[in-house]
Amino acid sequence: MKYEIHIQEIFQGEEIVLSINGLETARFEAHTRFQIGLAHVESIEIKEGDTITLKTEALNNEVQVTAETKKPFLAVTLHDGRLEANAKKSTPRYI
Amino acid sequence: MSAKKKSASKSGNKKTTTEELELAVLIPDEEHPDYCPGSISGDYGEDCESSWNPENDPSGEADGSEELGSFPSIPGPIPHPLPVQPGPIIPRPIFPRFCGPVSGTYRSGGRRRPPFAHPISIHPRPVVPRWIPGPIFPINLFKLTVRVDVDRYHPQERISVEATRLFPNQKSHIIAEVTSDRCSGWRNRVIRANIVYRDGVNSMLPGTEIVFTARRTRGFGYGAYQIELRGGGISPKRYDLSYTSRYFDPVEFEVDRVSNAGNIVTSYATGSHPNRPAGLPSETITLASVYKRAGFDAKMSPNSSVIPTSGAGANGTWSDAEMHNAMVTYWSRFANRPQWAMWILYAARHDSGRGLGGIMFDDIGSNHRQGTAIFTDSFIQDAPAGDPNAPAWRRRMEFWTAVHEMGHGFNLAHAWQKSLGNPWLPLANEPESRSFMNYPFNVSGGQASFFSDFRFGFSDQELIFMRHAPRRFVQMGNSSWFVNHGFEAPDETNHTGNWDLVVRPNRGSNTYKFLEPVTMELKLSNTSEASSAIEQDLLEDGRHITVFIQREGGEPKQWRSLMTHCHEPHADSLNPGESIYGAHNISVSTEGWLIDEPGFYKIQAAIDLTDEIVVSNVLRLYVAPPNQDAEANIATDYFSEDVGRVLAFQGAPALDSAEKILETVVETCSENPAAKHARIALSTPKLRNFKILEADGGREDLAIKTQVSKVSAAAKIQGAALLKDPNVAADTLGHIPYFETLRKAAEALEESGAEAEAIKMMTKTIKVMKDRNILASVIDNAERRLKRRKD
C-alpha cells in the first residue's frame, strides 16, 4: 500500500535515513519550509506490519513505527534532538 | 465571489480579463467593540474599553484622574462687583475631559527648497528664469517617522520612531512602551513611553523616554504635535511633527486567479456561520479591511486578473517555480526591490496535492515575500461532517487561508513557531492563540474551539511586529523570509536619473601624506536626454553642496566651507553629457580639521537640485602616518584653526603665528606635498597690494594698512612650487585650484608690467594642461588668453 512519510518540523539540514524492516530505503536531507511547516514528503510502498525506521545519524536518534494500513500517513517531527512520529488516518494539512 | 464586471486590461505583461472584487460592509468604527476611540481623562493603565463603556461607569460621569485632580467645583461669587445690580451666579460649564484618537503616523523634517533656479528643459528659445536670491537653506537631511499606537483598533500601547538621515545614509529605530497616557483637559494629550527596543545608529535617537504631545490649537481637532526624547542624561530633543495618516504604512494587494480556480473568496460575512464568538459584529470583511484594522492603509489593486491554466504546465498543478513565473508575468507591480505591495494568486491545486491549502511561495531569489497563493481545490474545502453551515464554513476557511498566507508576506510566522529561526526579538510561542497565524485544527478542541473564539485578527505580538518593527523586517521584498520575522535596506532621494554627482581626488592615488590637505573635486553631470539650465557656480560657491566626512570608526561630520561666495546668479545651459566642476579643500571646516589623523576616511557629497537630491559616490581615502620626526613634531601646531584658515584663504597675513607654522613646514618638511600648499598660501597675498585691518589700538583706532605687493618674488615662488614638479603639484592641489593659481599669478605678472614672464608662465601652464589631458575646452580658453597676451 502507498504510505506517506511527512518530515515536518524542525529540520535544518539533518540527514534522515529511512529503513523498512532494517533495509535502508532512502536517505535525504530535510529543510523545513517554515511557512508551511513541512520539509519533505517521502512516498513508499509497504505492507501491514512492516517496521519503518527513521534515523538522524548526526544526532544518533531514531524512531520506529509499525505500519498500519488504516493510518497510511506518518508525521515526523524533531524537537530537542528527539525524533517523534505520529501515524494518521488522513493526510496532514498545511497552509 | 461573483464576478461583477469583466473587461480587458493589461496586468504585467499579459492582457487578461479583470473582475471586480467584493467591497467591505463594515460597521462604523465607533460602534465596533474592538475600536478604542480615544482617551478620557485617565492615566494609562485603564483598559480602553472600561474607560469608554458606560456600563462600567454607572454614575454616567467620566472618571477623573487622581493625579490631575477632580473636576472643578462650582465657582463662588464673581470676584469683581458688577456695575449694575448683581445677577444670578452662573456656574462654569463642566466639559468631560475627552481626547480623540491620536494613533497613526507623524512625520518631522522635510525638504526646504533653496530659492535658486532649478534645472529646466531648454526650448528652442531659451529663457533664463529670473529668481530672487535669498538665504540658502541647507539640505534637511534628518527625518523622523513616528508611529503612535494607543487607540483605534487593537491598540498596542506603543510608540515607535524611525529616524532617517539621508546623507550619510543612516537609520535608527526605537520602540517604546507607553507608561502614561493623559488627557489633560480640553487641550492636551500627553503620552509617555519608555524605550525598550533599539535598532540602527543609537546616537540618532538618544534617551530613554519618549513624550508625545497632541495639542488642540483651534476648533475641535488637534493642530500641533510634538515628540520629545529625554532621559539617560541627555538634553531633551524636541521635534515638531505633522500628522500624516491614521495608518502606519500603505500597502497594495493585487489578486489574480487562475481560470480554473472557480469562484474565489476575498470577503466574508462574519455573521454567516453560527460558530463564532458571542458579540462578534456582523459585517462583511475583506482582505483589505482585515489589514486596515491591523494598521495598514490597505488597498486592492484595480488590476485583478484571470490567468490561463497554461502556466501550470502539463500536470495542471502549480509548483513554486511556476507560481513565481506567473507572479513575474502577471503582477502589474512586480519589481526586484522592496515595496509595500503583494501579489495573491488563487489557483486550483499545488503539485504537493490536496493537503496544501495555501503557501507563501516567494522564498526564492533576492526579494522574498512578495507573492502568496491559495489553492481552492484543497482540504480547505472539506467542511467537517455535520457542520451546521458547510458553505459558510468553506467560505470562512478560504478567506482565513488567504489572510494567513498574506500574513507570511508580512514576515509573520506560525503562532507555534515564534521562538524559532531569527525572531526580531525574543518571542514566545503562541500555540493556542486565536490569530490568523495559527492553524485552527491545531489548537485544543480543534477548529470548532478555534472559530468559537476567533475575532478575525492577529495576536498582540503580531500586531506589535507589523506596526512597529523596523520596516525592512516587515516590508515585502525586504528582509528575507524568516529572518527578523515577527514571529514565525536610498527612496528618499526621489532619484530621477537625470544627474550624476561624482566626488573624486582626480589623481592616481587616494593616499595622502600626513599633513597634506585634501582637495576634493566635484563633478555634476547631466545624464538626461535634455538640456537643463543650471547655476554655473553651484559646486564652487560653497553654499549649495553638502559634504560628509567620516574617519572609519568615528562619527560622520559635516564639512562646511570656510568661504562661501555670493554672486550674481547666472544660469547656463548644460547639454546632455556635459558637466560642471568644483574643488574644495575639505580637510578644513568651520569646526576645525576633519582630515588630520592617519587612517581611512570616507567622503560623500550631495546637492539639492530642488526636484531631487543628488548623492555622490562614497570615496575612500587613506592618510599615511608621519614620514619623519619633523612632520610629527609640527602636527600639534599645524592642525589648528588658524593654519586651516591660512590654507583655505590662500594666505592670511594677519594670522602671523599660523603663517610662521607654515614657514616651518616649508623649511623642515620640504618634500611633503603640504609644503607646496604652504608656499602658495604664503606667497599669494604678495601678488597684490594686500589690505589688512589693524585693530591694535581697539575699535576706536581701526585702520586699514596695505602691504605692498611683491609680484615678481611671489610669482617666482609659485612658479617653482607649481611648475618644477607639475604632476606632484597638480595631484596635491587638484586641477582646478592648480590651474587657477597659475592663471592668477600670470595675471598679476601682466598687471605689474612683467608681460614676458606672464607669457612664459602661461606657456608652461598650457603644456602641463596638455600633458595631463585636461578638458579641451579649458585648454582652448587658456590658449586664447595666451594669444591675446602675445598680440
Chain segment B538-548, per-residue pLDDT in tens: 888 877 888 88
Count other C-beta atoms under 10 Å from residue B52's C-beta: 20
**Residue B1 confidence (pLDDT) above 50:** no
Is A93 within 8 Å of B441 when comparing Cβ atoms?
yes
Q: How confident is the model at residue B610 (pLDDT cuts 50, 70, 90)?
A: low
Report the gap between the CA of B1 and the closest CA in chain A (Å). Answer: 21
Which pLDDT tens digit goes with each residue over B448-471?
Answer: 999 999 999 999 999 999 999 999
- Would you write out chain A's pLDDT as a tens digit for each of its 95 residues? 999 999 999 898 889 999 999 999 999 999 999 899 999 999 999 999 999 999 998 788 899 999 999 999 999 999 888 899 999 999 999 99
Q: How confident is the model at residue B38 (pLDDT cuts 50, 70, 90)?
A: confident
Number of inter-chain CB pairs under 8 A, A vs B: 48
B342 — contact with chain A (CB < 8 Å)? no
**Residue B123 confidence (pLDDT) above 80:** no
Is the separation of the CB atoms in B189 and B99 below 8 Å? yes
Q: What are A's interface residues with B at a Cβ cutoff of 8 A?
A: 9-10, 33-37, 41, 91-95
Query: For residue B385, what are the contacts with CB-CB under 8 A and spacing of at least 6?
Result: none
Name the B residues in 438-467 with CB < 8 Å from any A CB.
439, 441
B377 — contact with chain A (CB < 8 Å)? no
Q: At what angle do helices B711-723 and B673-683 cross, to 10 degrees?
A: 160
Tell me what pLDDT residue B482 has. Answer: 62
Report the gap between the CA of B437 and the closest CA in chain A (Å). Answer: 10
Query: For residue B567, what are the contacts with CB-CB under 8 A and spacing of at least 6?
Result: B537, B541
The 3 state secondary structure assigned to B279-336 is: CCCCCEEEHHHHHHHCCEEEEECCCCEEECHHHHCCCCCECHHHHHHHHHHHCCCCCC
Cα→Cα distances B231→B157, B207, B209, Å:
20, 5, 6
Tell me what pLDDT residue B393 has. Answer: 97
Is B413 within 8 Å of A34 when comparing Cβ atoms?
yes
The rounded distance, in Å, linking the Cα atoms of B361 and B323 is: 8
**Residue B116 confidence (pLDDT) above 50:** no
User: Does the interface ipTM go beyond 0.85?
Assistant: yes
Facing residue for A94 by CB, picked from B356, B363, B488: B356
Which pLDDT tens digit goes with each residue over B509-526?
Answer: 889 999 999 999 999 999
pTM for this predicted structure? 0.66
Report the gap between the CA of A88 and the closest CA in chain B (Å). Answer: 13
Average pLDDT over all residues of chain B: 83
Query: For residue B276, what are the contacts with CB-CB under 8 A and spacing of at least 6?
Result: B270, B451, B452, B454
Which pLDDT tens digit goes with each residue over B679-697?
Answer: 999 999 999 998 888 877 7
Query: For residue B702, what are the contacts with CB-CB under 8 A and spacing of at least 6?
Result: B693, B694, B695
> Average pLDDT for residues B582-596, to the nearest whole number?
93
B360 chain-A contacts, CB cut-off 8 A: 35
Count other C-beta atoms under 10 Å from residue B9's C-beta: 15
Is B417 within 8 Å of A34 when comparing Cβ atoms?
yes
Report the gap between the CA of B357 and the closest CA in chain A (Å). Answer: 5
Is the separation of the CB atoms in B731 and B738 below 8 Å? no
First-to-last alpha carbon distance for chain A, in angstroms, is 27
The rounded distance, in Å, linking the Cα atoms of B24 and B34 is: 17
Is B352 within 8 Å of A95 when comparing Cβ atoms?
no
B380 — contact with chain A (CB < 8 Å)? yes
Residue predicted with more confidence, B570 or B257: B257
Report the relative pairing of strands B249-258 and B142-149 from DSSP bridges.
unpaired
Most A CBs within 10 Å, among B320, B344, B356, to test the A interface: B356
DSSP B350: B
Q: How confident is the model at residue B586 (pLDDT cuts 50, 70, 90)?
A: very high
> Average pLDDT for residues B554-579, to the nearest whole number?
82
